[in-house]
Copies of this chain bind each other. A is one copy, B any other.
Amino acid sequence: MRLAVVGATGMVGQSFLKVLEEYVQKGKLRIDEFYLFASARSAGRKLPWLGGEYEVEELTAQSFDRGIDVALFSAGGAASLQYAPIAASKGCVVIDNSSAWRMDGKVPLIVPEVNPEDVQWNKGIIANPNCSTAQAVVALWPLHKRYGIKRVVYSTYQAVSGAGMGGWNDLVEGLNGRSPRKFPHPIAGNCLPHIDVFMEDGYTKEEHKMINETRKIMHQPDLPITATAVRIPVFTGHSESINAELNSPFELEELTQLLANSPGIILQNDFTNNEYPMPLYADGRDEVFVGRIRRDYSVPDGVNLWVVADNLRKGAATNAVQIACLLNTTV
C-alpha cells in the first residue's frame, strides 16, 4: 500500500504517524511507500517515522499524481473539500477526518466495529466520524443489534486535544494563569458547554454531529437522540454519560457480557474495586472503555453507560487506520 498522511504536522496527524507505526510493527498493515503532506508553512519539515525520516511536502493538486493508494486526511474541512475529490479522481481512496464529507449521501461514514460493509460503496472518499460519535457507537451498536435502541441522551466530557494544538495550549497556558487564545473562555478550572460553532437551533455543531453521525453509521436515520457536548480541562480522552432506552427487556448481566465480548470494547465495570473508565488511563489506547453499566429505573428498559476513549486514537487516527486496513483486505 502506498499511503499518504495529509495534515501530518497537526495533532491528529501526529497520532496518524504513531498509530501507523504501531500497525506496521504489529504486522496489521503493510506500507510500501509513505508520504507526508501539509500546508506550505510546514513543507520541508522532517518527521521521524519507523526508524526513518520523511520530509513534509506541500499539498498541491499534483500531490496525488504519483499513484497513492490511500490518503489519510486531517488538514481541516477546506483542504478536504478542495483536495479529496482531486485525490479520488486519481485513483486514491481518501479517508477524511474532517466533517466536510461525513453527511454526504455519496460518502460512507465508517466505524469498522459497526458498519465495515459500507466501505464497499465508496467512490474514493470515506469519512471518519466525529471523535465523540466514534466511541459512542462502538458501545451502542451491540445493544442495538441485540435489543434495539429506542432513544439516546448523550452528555459529553471532552478533552482539549479535540480542539487541536490550540486547545491543548489553552489548557497548558491557562494553568499558568494566561488567557485563552483558541477557546472563547478560559478552560483551566472551568468547563465550556460549547464545542464547535453554535447552530440556529441553539445546539452546537458538535451536538448535531453526534446526533446525525450516530444515525448514519448505525443506519437508523430516525433514531431519537439528543446531545449536550462539553469541553472540560482534561488533555486527552473523551468521556461520555450515555443514557439509552432499549426496545426490549434485558438482563443487566447479559447486557454487560454482550458489551464485554463486543469488538473494540474493554469492560471496566467493577465498582467494588473502584474500576471504571477514565480518560487519563485511556490515553494512548486504541480501544473504547465501557463501565458504570447500570439499569435506569426511570423508564421500562433503560441503561446508563460511561464510555471513554482516546479522542486522538479511536476518535480519529485509529479509526481511520482501521478503515485503511478494511480497504487493504477488500482491494
The residues of A with any CB-CB pair to B shorter than 8 Å are 151-153, 155, 157, 175, 184-186, 189-194, 198, 201-203, 224-226, 228, 230, 232-235, 239, 241, 243, 271-272, 274, 276-280, 291-299, 302, 304, 306
CB distance from A228 to the nearest CB of B (A): 4
Contacts A157-B157, A186-B280; is A193 near B298 (CB within 8 Å)?
no
Q: How far is the CA of A299 from the CA of B234 in the complex (A)?
A: 32
Closest to A277 in B: B193
Oligomer copy total: 2
CB distance from A326 to the nearest CB of B (A): 31
7 nearest A-B residue pairs (beta carbon): A224-B298, A155-B155, A190-B280, A155-B241, A202-B294, A228-B241, A226-B296
CB distance from A67 to the nearest CB of B (A): 43
Q: How far is the CA of A260 from the CA of B155 in the complex (A)?
A: 24
Closest to A159 in B: B189
Instruction: A153-B243, A190-B278, A228-B306 given; name 14 further pairs at CB < 8 Å.
Output: A153-B296, A157-B232, A185-B280, A190-B234, A192-B278, A193-B239, A193-B241, A193-B292, A194-B274, A203-B294, A224-B297, A226-B298, A226-B302, A232-B233
Q: How far is the CA of A184 from the CA of B281 in the complex (A)?
A: 14
Do residues B292 and A202 form an inter-chain contact, with CB atoms below 8 A?
yes
Do residues B276 and A193 form an inter-chain contact, with CB atoms below 8 A?
yes
Q: How far is the CA of A235 from the CA of B233 in the complex (A)?
A: 11
Residues of B within 8 A of A190 (CB): 234, 278-280
Q: How far is the CA of A152 from the CA of B241 in the complex (A)?
A: 14
Residues of B within 8 A of A155 (CB): 155, 228, 241, 243
Do residues B153 and A278 form an inter-chain contact, with CB atoms below 8 A?
no
Residues of B within 8 A of A276 (CB): 192-194
Contacts A243-B226, A292-B228; is A151 near B278 (CB within 8 Å)?
no
